[in-house]
Amino acid sequence: MTILIDKDQVIAGPTLVPAAHELARDAGPELTIGLVNNMPDAALKATERQFMKLLQAAAGSRRIRFHCFSLPSVKRSPEAKWHVESEYSNLSDLERGKFDGLIVTGAEPIAPELDREPYWRDLTNLIDWAKVNTRSTIWSCLAAHAAVLHLDGIERQRLPAKCHGIFDCDVVADDSLTRFAPAPLKVSHSRLNEIAESDLMQGGYQVLTRSEEAGVDVFVRQYASRFVFFQGHPEYDALSLQREYLRDIGRYLARERENYPHLPVSYFDAATEEKLARFERKAAHQRHPALSNELPALNLRGDIGAGEAAAVLFRNWLRYLGADADAPRSVR
Ligand SMILES: CC(C)(COP(=O)(O)OP(=O)(O)OC[C@H]1O[C@@H](n2cnc3c(N)ncnc32)[C@H](O)[C@@H]1OP(=O)(O)O)[C@@H](O)C(=O)NCCC(=O)NCCSC(=O)CCC(=O)O
Ligand SMILES: N[C@@H](CCO)C(=O)O
């Protein structure tokens, strides 16, 4: 899938890309950005939409040639496989192409050890390629954990309980990526593991934003490419965390998971949290899938700021790519 994102219109599909002369307008050098979408099938299209929307909003007058990829070793249903095969570009096109920016999504951790995930080899090859073939790559959540393990042997730590919710993150270093960021940055986190800040400091990484409760949020490392690591999910829609929470309740009721999921932090409004706590008490002794029909109506807090942090981070990221694109191509 190659989508030209232009501030006036989104053109889907390579055949609809306008002829070169139409691109002569002073849109500034076009940026080529790849999305390696390893999210589970149910979030596959939503993740495309989330990142496309963010890039379009952040692009201003710049044109972006946006390509989607997925690692072939990520297990997919026939339908999701068909979507990837018919709509996504081939990973080999990535290695042959010239990409200014790359975004690599996380995935739901299945194997206890990252290097036992089926896509580990593909992911480490991608990390090595991106180091010298992109101006900057964003590694999201599990991809960030995989990158620091592969690059510096830094192991993720399993959390006692899933870290999920909306967390206030403070800017802790002066960097172009967080310029004009609101204080605090409200960022969705949703992960079973974390990277300890002390390990990152020892490994020569620089932490840019941090939450008192959730720990490290955004951190960076300069190679030929600027590697940007998101432990959180600034790209998540307002309802993404709710969907995951409802999925986890469903898994508990179906006895597909041992424990009942904790409430996402600072996410639902107080009245909804009370109703969900009552539902949890009921689920403890009426544990069957049909009980999900009795889930209450859910209302989010009014201050979750969905998309606000991502808008700043992606606008600054594109500025970084664009500034570099304006400069003569340095030898990488
Ligand atoms: C929770 C689910 C299963 C979605 O549950 P649902 O059952 O609601 O979805 P569904 O019924 O399949 O889809 C119903 C509609 O919701 C949309 N939809 C689905 N997922 C969505 C999402 N995350 N955000 C926004 N919209 C979403 C679908 O596109 C569809 O819309 P249309 O009908 O319009 O299409 C999915 O979001 C998911 O798999 N999330 C997991 C994300 C994940 O694995 N993240 C990994 C990064 S975190 C990480 O790396 C962790 C590392 C670590 O833990 O250490
Ligand atoms: N955020 C993802 C991964 C959790 O580690 C989920 O809830 O499925």
Tens of pLDDT along the chain (332 residues)?
Answer: 777 876 555 544 443 344 444 444 445 689 999 999 999 999 999 999 999 999 999 998 889 999 999 999 999 999 999 999 999 999 988 988 889 999 999 998 999 899 999 999 999 999 999 999 999 999 999 999 999 999 999 999 999 999 999 999 999 999 999 999 999 999 999 999 999 999 999 999 999 999 999 999 999 999 999 999 999 999 999 999 999 999 999 999 999 999 999 999 999 999 999 999 999 999 999 999 999 999 999 999 999 999 999 999 999 999 999 986 655 544 43
User: CA 173 from chain center: how many Å?
Assistant: 21
- Residue 111 CB less than 6 A away from ligand 1: no
ipTM for the complex? 0.92
The predicted structure's pLDDT at residue 120 = 97
**130 φ/ψ angles, rounded to the nearest 5 degrees:** -65, -30
The predicted structure's pLDDT at residue 4 = 80
C-alpha dihedral sign at 33, 228, 159, 266: negative
The predicted structure's pLDDT at residue 7 = 57
The predicted structure's pLDDT at residue 97 = 86
| H, E, C per residue of the chain | CEEEEECCEEECCHHHCCCHHHHHCCCCCCEEEEEECCCCHHHHHHHHHHHHHHHHHHHCCCCEEEEEECCCCCCCCHHHHHHHHHHCCCHHHHHHCCCCEEEECCCCCCCCCHHHCCCHHHHHHHHHHHHHHCCEEEEECHHHHHHHHHHHCCCCEEEEEEEEEEEEEEECCCCHHHCCCCCCEEEEEEEEEECCHHHHHHCCCEEEEEECCCEEEEEEEECCCEEEEECCCCCCCCCHHHHHHHHHHHHHHCCCCCCCCCCCECCECHHHHHHHHHHHHHHHHCCCHHHHHHCCCCCECCCCCCCHHHHHHHHHHHHHHHHHHHCCCCCC
Please, what is the angle between helix 308-326 and helix 41-59, to 10°? Answer: 60
The predicted structure's pLDDT at residue 132 = 95
Among this protein's residues, is 141 annotated catalytic?
yes
- Residue 43 CB less than 6 A away from ligand 1: yes
The predicted structure's pLDDT at residue 324 = 62
| Centre of ligand 1 from the C-alpha of residue 41, in Å | 8
The predicted structure's pLDDT at residue 17 = 44
When computed from its CA atoms, the radius of gyration of the chain, rounded to whole angstroms, is 20
From residue 215, give the alpha-carbon distance in Å to each of 169, 195, 208. Answer: 9, 9, 11
The predicted structure's pLDDT at residue 16 = 38
Ligand nearest to the CA of 104: 1
Q: Tokens in use for 71?
A: 């690692």
Q: Which of 190, 236, 248 to mutate to test the pocket of ligand 2 (most atoms within 8 A of CB)?
A: 190
pTM for the whole structure: 0.91
Q: In what order do the strands lie in the sheet with 136-140?
A: 9-11, 2-6, 64-69, 31-36, 101-104, 136-140, 226-230, 215-222, 206-211, 157-171, 185-194
The predicted structure's pLDDT at residue 27 = 56
Q: Which of 117, 194, 235, 244 is catalytic?
A: 235
Nearest one of 110, 128, 33 to 74, comparing CA atoms: 110
The predicted structure's pLDDT at residue 61 = 83
Q: Which residues 6+ apart lie within 8 Å of 92 measured at CB? A: none
Q: 215-223 — which CB contacts under 8 Å span 24+ positions?
A: 215/163, 217/167, 217/169, 217/185, 217/187, 217/189, 218/169, 218/177, 218/178, 218/313, 220/175, 220/177, 221/151, 223/131, 223/132
Whole-angstrom distance, CA of residue 53 vs CA of residue 14 = 19
Residue nearest to atom 10 of ligand 1 (CA): 42
The predicted structure's pLDDT at residue 257 = 96
Residue nearest to atom 7 of ligand 2 (CA): 244
Among this protein's residues, is 233 annotated catalytic?
yes
The predicted structure's pLDDT at residue 5 = 77
The predicted structure's pLDDT at residue 1 = 72
Q: Tokens in use for 163?
A: 């870290």
Please report the atom of ligand 1 found closest to the CA of residue 43: 20
Whole-angstrom distance, CA of residue 129 vs CA of residue 151 = 12
Among this protein's residues, is 235 annotated catalytic?
yes
The predicted structure's pLDDT at residue 29 = 80
The predicted structure's pLDDT at residue 10 = 52
